[in-house]
Chain A
C-alpha cells in the first residue's frame, strides 16, 4: 500500500512522485539526450503517465523535436522528463533525479548508433541500435 517513489530537481523547486514502479528502465545514447544533459548518456525510468504527478512546482517544457516534449526546472535547469506524442501512456523521468536512483538500474541501452566511441556499452544489458520498440 502507498508505494511512493519520489524525486526532483537540484534546487528543489520541482518535485514529483510516482505511485507505481517504472515499467522500463534504459540508458539512452542519442545525440539529443547527450546535448540536453551535457553528459555522455542519460538513464531514463519510464512510468505510466497516470502514476506520475508533479507535487511541487511545474517544469518548463521544451519541444525538442516535432513529436517530443522535454521538461526541465526553470530555476536550476535540471533535466526532468521526456514524452513522445505517439506514446501517450508513458512519461520518462531522468533516473538520476530520483531520490534513490540506485534502486532503478537500467536493463537496456538504446540508440547505440549515436554512442560516443569512448564510452563502453555495458555487456550485461540488452543493446538496441535505435529505440527498443521501433
Chain B
C-alpha cells in the first residue's frame, strides 16, 4: 500500500494548525481583488483539500463572511490568512499555500481572475490563465465582483 500523504500547516504564531491526509484536489493562484486585499499580497495561492481528509488541530480559525456564499479563515491571535470556504465548493477546504509547512510540495494548476491582476505583478510561468474562474471549477460566485 502506498503511504498516506500528510500535509500539515498553520499560522505564524502556531495557535491554529491543520492536517490533510490526501493529495490536494487542485492548486490555484488567485489574482482577484478580495484575495489581494485579505492577504495583503499581490496574489493568493490556494490548494484544495477534500473536506473528509482535512482537520483543524487545536484552536479553530476565525471566519469572516466576505460575501453571501464565502468565508475567509484567519488566526485571531496573529491574523495569518489561512483558508477559504465557498458554498459552491462545499466538498473541500481551500488552504492558503503560504501556511503549509512545506509549500514547495504542492502543485499549482493555473491562475484565475487575471482580469483583476495588479499590473506590476506577474509570475511569468507557463500555467493556464483564466480571466475569471477556471473551467476546472463550475462556478465561483465569491469572486464575481
Q: Inside 8 A of A35's CB, which chain B residues have their CB?
A: 11-12, 80, 98-99
Whether the pair A77, B118 counts as a contact (CB closer than 8 A) is no
- CB <8 Å contact, B74 and A72: yes
* A78 CB-CB contact with B under 8 Å: yes
- Counted as pairs of residues, one from A and one from B, with CB atoms less than 8 Å apart, the total is 153
B40 at the interface (CB under 8 A from A): yes
Q: Interface residue tally of chain A, by bracket?
A: 35 or more
B42 and A38 within 8 A (CB): no
Interface size on B, residues (CB 8 A): 43
A62 near B77 with CB under 8 A, answer yes
A58 CA to B134 CA, complexed, in Å: 37
Pick the most buried of A27, A38, A76, A97: most chain B CB atoms within 10 A of its CB.
A38
In the assembled complex, which residues on chain A have CB atoms less than 8 Å from the CB atom of B98?
34-40
List of B residues within 8 angstroms of A74 by Cβ: 76, 79
Chain A residues 54 to 111 lying within 8 A of chain B, measured CB to CB, are 60, 62, 64, 70-80, 94-97, 101-102, 105-106
Which stretch from B30-38, B49-57, B85-93, B135-143 is at the chain A interface?
B30-38
A18 within 8 A of B: no
Contact (Cβ within 8 A) A36 B62: no
Which residues of B are in contact with A by a Cβ distance under 8 Å?
Answer: 11-13, 34, 36-45, 62, 64, 66, 72-82, 96-99, 103-104, 108, 118-125
Q: Which residues of A contact B (CB under 8 A)?
A: 9-11, 27, 32, 34-43, 60, 62, 64, 70-80, 94-97, 101-102, 105-106, 116-120, 122
Q: Shortest Cβ distance from B9 into chain A, in angstroms? A: 9
**Contact B12 A32, beta carbon cutoff 8 Å:** yes
If A96-B36, A120-B123 touch, whether A76 touches B43 (CB-CB below 8 Å) is: no
